[in-house]
Amino acid sequence: MMDNAYLTNPEDEYETPWYLLKGGIFESFRYDSFESFNEKLWQLLVAITSKRKKEDHEKQRLSDTLANIVLMVKGSHYFLHHKKRLGYKEDWIDIKWLPNPYRCLEKYRPREDQKLNHHLAHFREPFAKLTREEAQNFTIAFENFFAEMDLSSWLNLLEDWKSCLEGDETLFDWQVDNAPLETYERLLALHEACIIGYHWAEIDYPPPNRHLYEDFFNTPYESYRDASPLELIDTVLYEINYDVLRQDILELYAGCSHQRKGLTMKTDDLRFHLRWLLQTGWLLLQTDYFPEDWLDPNSFNFLRCPIPEKDMEYWRPKSLSFKEREKLAKTLSKLYYGVEVHDEMYSVESRMIRYLDAKDTTCLGEENFKTRDRLLKTLDILTLIVLDLCKRRTKPDGIIYPGVSSEEEVTSEKKIENSTKNL
């Protein structure tokens, strides 16, 4: 099949992923699971490094495994060769990954952070052999595999493995492959990269935070792009005015029933927005790296801004000090430090139930005020991010202070805040 594939080109670019993958990669493990392939590879290694006599049926089974490994090696080389020949670029494997600018500061990270944010947590398979860069771009793993040994060297080595297997001898008897465990590790890493390649060709390459959506929040996402927390901001602020949402948060936490004036939004709508407000603020802090296009303002088709266009240049957040909005990642980290976000969302819903009860006379406690402030400050931060993205779309090379119109204004605002502290 591989020989025939070399003679033709895919008819259109949408066939290219499968065209590249069918150069041996898919055929090599199509009838295996992740675990079964690795188990067979280990059995093969044990067989050619031990002097135990093997039955014919066992030799045949191990030979089939070796043939699949040869296919996998050839297929990976085929992929690299033809991808370069076709000049094919695909965002999901050729894009750079950048540090998340809103990542939770290490000082404020919870104990389970390492488990939640492991760079391979978004894959269901228990990958352990790939670096972060290789997991984010599996072609790097292919290139690293052939960096020290070219295709012919790998095929010659695997041919030696086959000869040892058929002759009931060991690699040490033949004095070939003096580091079989290292070879085994490299083949394991190549297999993991091939599995990622399969996800890519199936358009099933998971976003870096899929585990947070599906396992932590039990929430589905529509597409790879929709899993970006920055895209979620658009969901939170969908046709909602900043002042309206802020006023309803203040109203929700107004206190006893005689102090209430009534909500502007429908109860279900407010519940939806506050839930996503908390969830989005928390998601902004998670995962170490984002695909580059998640952070590119020009990659957003549109941004709904909750601030009137005429006020955007001079708008100021009402619940954040200048110091808090100067370092948004630190502000967010402190807001969610020690907070179980599920409990926080349940707390907001509980507050809504009490608010709707006209007979409720319970006064607000300290925790209610903390939740109210967290909602207000998170709303301010999301609004600042939207404003910053809007400005960067028109000034891609400029340094933008979120929510501040100019560098001179930054200086003057600092002076005002410092003078206020002395009063």
* pLDDT digits 0-9 by tens, 181-222: 999 999 999 999 999 999 888 888 888 888 888 888 888 887
Domain ranges of the chain: 2-95+137-206, 212-421
Please check the confidence at residue 239 and state whether its pLDDT lies above 70.
Answer: yes
d(CA 211, CA 378): 23
Q: Is the pLDDT higher at 343 or at 304?
A: 343
Kindly indicate the confidence band of residue 124, based on its pLDDT and cuts at 50, 70 and 90: confident
Residues 6+ apart with CB under 8 A from 402: 325, 328, 384, 385, 387, 388
Mean pLDDT of 371-381: 95
In the structure encoding, which two tokens stand for residue 25, read together?
Answer: 């990669």
Highest mean pLDDT pick, 50-59, 127-136, 247-256, 275-284: 275-284
d(CA 391, CA 312): 10
Cα angle, residue 13 at apex, residues 7 and 18 outer, rounded to 5°: 65
* pLDDT digits 0-9 by tens, 292-327: 888 888 877 667 788 887 888 788 999 999 999 899
CB 233, CB 223: distance < 8 Å: no
* pLDDT digits 0-9 by tens, 379-421: 999 999 988 887 776 554 433 334 333 343 334 344 434 433 3
Mean pLDDT of 248-258: 82
Longest CA pairwise span in the chain (Å)? 91
- Phi/psi of residue 267, nearest 5 degrees: -60, -45
Helix 56-86, helix 138-145: angle, nearest 10: 110
d(CA 393, CA 390): 5
* pLDDT computed for residue 144 by the predictor: 96
Question: Which stretches of 106-150 are DSSP H helices?
Answer: 113-117, 132-136, 138-145
Task: State pTM to two decimals.
Answer: 0.80
Q: Which of 223, 234, 225 lies closest to 294, judged by CA?
A: 225
* pLDDT computed for residue 67 by the predictor: 95
Kindly indicate the confidence band of residue 66, based on its pLDDT and cuts at 50, 70 and 90: very high
How confident is the prediction for the chain on average, in pLDDT? 84
